[in-house]
Structure 1
Amino acid sequence: MPKNLEIRAVGAAITAGNCVVVELQITAGQKAVSELLQNLLKTSLDHSVIEFVSSRASDEDLSPSHIRLFQEKSQNERQPASSKTLFPLSSTTRSVAIVDRTADLTSAAEAIATARFAYGGNSPYAPDLVLVNEFVKS
């Protein structure tokens, strides 16, 4: 997974209050970058928030309510079957909107709709995924 997508997905998940397991497939050309990313995140975050693995964790190893994020490879490559929700990530950048429990819902909805539909829906800031805290009340 490109490092930008890793950092964005990890940041969004942690901001939403989740723990993260990152599968790093270290190739020769990316070894230094992968090790740097791993060291920076592990030293700057609580150890119970993030973990790095070299092979894919099974559904049994993760919490019952986990979500898997995958980078799309090609049409011929299949993602492993999982009983949980799968969110494929293409190699293009994705924008995530996060609505926390202290947000003004009307303002948040207006801002997200404006960002999504501005410039014919082609804005680089148009949210592709909206995450809402479960404690948000209408």
Structure 2
Amino acid sequence: MSVSVIRRIASPKKALTAAAVAAATAGMALSAAPAQAATPASASSAQAIAHKMIPDARQFNAFSQIVQRESGWNPSATNASSGAYGLVQALPGSKMASAGADWKTNPATQIKWGLDYMNSRYGSPAKAWAFWQANHWY
């Protein structure tokens, strides 16, 4: 095995950097995935909590679409690039403290904060989802 092959295998960080530079040169963007995927149990639990908090089917579905894309329903998802945190990817995550001191670990607190944010900024989760669809962020 040549030294250059060993270096490429031993240096995934350099390979990722090279891929990012190549993508940027081609006009593409690499996006960071949430830090870890939600377990099916935690995702379904967070979804059940949200469903109770958002009884209107249209608004729940819009909220769910955003959360699925932002965090995969993982309440501890952290964006490695920006530091955005939680189900709704608040930036900084500590903003969610306004909804409860347990914002880091309680999906209900994160959902409450996210719902309040969507309602105050966009008027509803459905309007936030329409914005997300047009811009791929909200």
Greater Rg by CA = 2
TM-score by shorter chain over 0.5: no
Query: Is the helix fraction higher in 1 or 2?
Result: 2
RCO higher in structure (CA 8 A, sep ≥6): 1
> TM-score category by the smaller chain?
under 0.3
Q: TM-score, normalised by structure 1?
A: 0.26
Query: Is the strand fraction higher in 1 or 2?
Result: 1
